[in-house]
Each structure stands twice: as structure tokens, then as C-alpha cells.
């Protein structure tokens, strides 16, 4: 039933102008979460990736967490991603305990993760924010790697749920400045200028001395 409603929503979206069809709000989604835990509204995940992530989200039920993932192209005007995620979480899981929602917006390559109070006792809000804004943000902005962003985010959350230490956000590799022994064009020109100045100074000293020596004999 949920899939039928979602298909109906997407069909109706084709009847409105293209610019509006790309923008969504929480009320554009069915009242119930998808059975496969995933809505790829932005159409950025392959069929294989859909299946992989769906199974991964489903495994979180072993930790008594009902996790869902939503990808979308862009939000309605005036709607921010955090607010959208919070509203959609409430729409899908009003009164439920143990719900988690990951949202990816492809227009800005940004992510948001929201959870109810019960989940936040195990996954603090600060961890959810860091996972979305740092762990997932890196692959999102580095080549639109949507699958990798979701996998990296889930791995971090799964580690904490399993009782492990939070691995933290990814470390950014520092760019090493390579020092070259080859002189630059400017350095070469400057070096040549000093050579000419030195030659002229030497000539300016030797020529008068040689002239005096010749005529003094």
C-alpha cells in the first residue's frame, strides 16, 4: 500500500511544472514509512545499492531501531533540511519509540539525521549532527558519492550502538607542499640580472684602471 501511495505521489508530481516537481516537503510523502526502509526520491541509487542499504537499515531492527533513508533533489522554498527531517520523522513515527531517519538532499549535497528521544539516549544528538555534517558530508561533496556517504554514516552509528568508541569524523588529509630545487622563471630572471650587475661593476672598475695603466707608460 505504501508503495502504491508513493507511486501516486510521484505520478502527480509529473503534472506540475518541472521546477516545482523537484521540490518536496514532508506532507508530500505517504503517512507511513516505506516497508523497505528507503525512498530514493532523487533517483541517485542503483537497484543494487537500494537493496544493499535497505538490508542494512533493516538490520538495525536488531537494536530495536526503525531506521529509514530518504534521498531528495531539493526542498520547498523556506524549508531547511533539519526541519524537514524532524517533521518527516514525526509524520512517520508519531508516538513510536526507536525511530531514526537519514535524509540526503542532492541539490546541496548535504545530509541530516534525526531520531526520537529513545534513540538519542544511545545515539546523542551531537553524534547524529556530526555524522551528518562531517562523516556523510565528505563523500557527498567529493564526487557525489551517495552510497558511500550513507554507508559511512551507518558504520559510525552501528559502531556506537555495538558499544564501541565513536570513531569520530574522517580526518582530512593535509596537502604536502613539495619543495622543488628547480628555480622558477622569476628566480632565473633575477639571477641573470644579478650576474649582469656584477659584470658591469667589475668592468666599471677594471676599465678605468686599465686605461690609466696604458696611458701612464
97-132 pLDDT, tens digit per residue, is 899 999 999 999 999 999 999 999 999 999 999 999
Residue 199 confidence class, pLDDT cut points 50, 70, 90:
low
Cα separation, 40 vs 1, in Å, equals 17
CA 122 to chain centre: 24
Cα separation, 153 vs 132, in Å, equals 7
CA 7 to chain centre: 29
Burial class (CB in 10 A: 0-12, 13-18, 19+), 117: exposed
Amino acid 21: pLDDT: 46
Phi/psi at 211 (nearest 5 deg)? -65, -45
Query: For a pLDDT cut of 90, what percent of the chain falls above it?
Result: 59
Amino acid 177: pLDDT: 45
Amino acid 205: pLDDT: 73
Query: For a pLDDT cut of 70, what percent of the chain falls above it?
Result: 72
Q: Give the Å distances, CA to CA, from 32 to 12, 37, 89.
A: 18, 11, 10
Residue 4 confidence class, pLDDT cut points 50, 70, 90:
very low
Strand, helix or coil for residue 76: coil
CA dihedral in degrees (192, 197, 199, 203; nearest 10)?
160
Which is nearest to 102 in space by CA: 139, 70, 63?
70
Residue 10 confidence class, pLDDT cut points 50, 70, 90:
very low
> What's the mean per-residue pLDDT of the chain?
83
CB 71 within 8 A of CB 29: no
- Residue 88 pLDDT > 60, yes or no? yes
Classify each residue of 40-75 as buried b or exposed e, where b means 16 or more C-beta atoms within 10 Å of its C-beta: bbbebbeeebbebbbebbeebeebebbbbbbbbebb
CB 71 within 8 A of CB 44: yes
Helices (H), 30-80: 47-59
Amino acid 175: pLDDT: 41
Mean pLDDT to the nearest integer, 177-194: 61
Cα separation, 29 vs 92, in Å, equals 9
- Which helix (H) or strand (E) segment holds residue 110: the answer is strand 110-115
Residue 14 confidence class, pLDDT cut points 50, 70, 90:
very low
CB 111 within 8 A of CB 148: no
Amino acid at each position: 500500500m505504501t508503495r502504491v501511495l508513493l507511486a501516486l505521489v510521484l505520478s502527480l508530481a509529473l503534472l506540475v511544472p518541472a521546477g516545482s516537481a523537484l521540490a518536496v516537503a514532508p506532507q508530500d510523502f505517504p503517512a507511513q514509512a516505506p516497508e523497505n526502509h528507503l525512498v530514493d526520491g532523487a533517483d541517485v541509487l542503483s537497484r543494487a545499492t537500494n537493496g544493499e542499504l535497505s538490508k542494512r537499515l533493516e538490520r538495525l531492527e536488531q537494536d530495536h531501531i526503525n531506521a529509514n533513508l530518504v534521498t531528495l533533489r531539493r526542498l520547498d522554498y523556506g524549508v531547511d533540511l533539519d526541519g524537514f527531517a524532524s517533521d518527516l520523522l514525526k509524520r512517520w513515527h508519531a508516538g513510536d519509540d526507536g525511530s531514526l531517519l537519514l535524509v540526503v538532499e542532492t541539490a546541496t549535497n548535504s545530509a541530516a539525521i534525526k531520531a526520537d528521544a529513545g534513540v538519542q539516549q544511545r545515539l546523542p544528538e551531537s553524534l547524529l549532527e556530526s555524522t551528518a555534517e562531517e562523516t556523510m558530508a565528505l563523500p557527498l561533496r567529493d564526487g557525489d558519492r551517495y552510497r558511500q556517504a550513507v554507508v559511512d554514516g551507518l558504520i559510525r552509528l552501528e559502531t556506537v550502538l555495538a558499544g564501541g568508541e565513536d570513531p569520530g569524523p574522517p580526518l582530512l588529509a593535509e596537502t604536502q607542499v613539495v619543495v622543488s630545487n628547480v628555480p622558477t622563471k622569476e628566480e632565473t630572471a633575477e639571477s641573470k640580472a644579478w650576474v649582469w650587475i656584477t659584470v658591469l661593476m667589475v668592468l666599471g672598475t677594471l676599465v678605468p684602471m686599465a686605461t690609466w695603466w696604458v696611458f701612464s707608460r
